Amino acid sequence: MTKIEKIEQEIARLGRGEVAVLGEWFRRYDAEAWDRQLEEDVKAGRLDALAEQALAGHQAGKSKAL
């Protein structure tokens, strides 16, 4: 049995309130992991080309200020 299967079995044994608490914890965990990855990508310059495209499009009048 894999780790994931074991975790799934344990989750299936939780009560509704516990599942809600776990869900909220996982949403925070996932959001923080996303934020860390985005910060790493920005620092490494992986998003530079996308930013340049967006700015060029905006300067060409293809977008408007919100």
Distance of alpha carbon 64 from alpha carbon 41, whole angstroms:
26
Q: What is the mean pLDDT of each run of 10 residues along the chain (66 residues)?
A: 98 98 98 98 97 95 89
DSSP state of 46: T
Output phi, psi for 57, to 5 deg: -65, -40
What pLDDT score does 17 carry? 98
What pLDDT score does 65 carry? 82
**Token duo for residue 46:** 């992986």
Longest distance between any two alpha carbons in the chain, whole Å = 56
**Token duo for residue 23:** 């869900």
What pLDDT score does 64 carry? 86
CB 27 within 8 A of CB 38: no
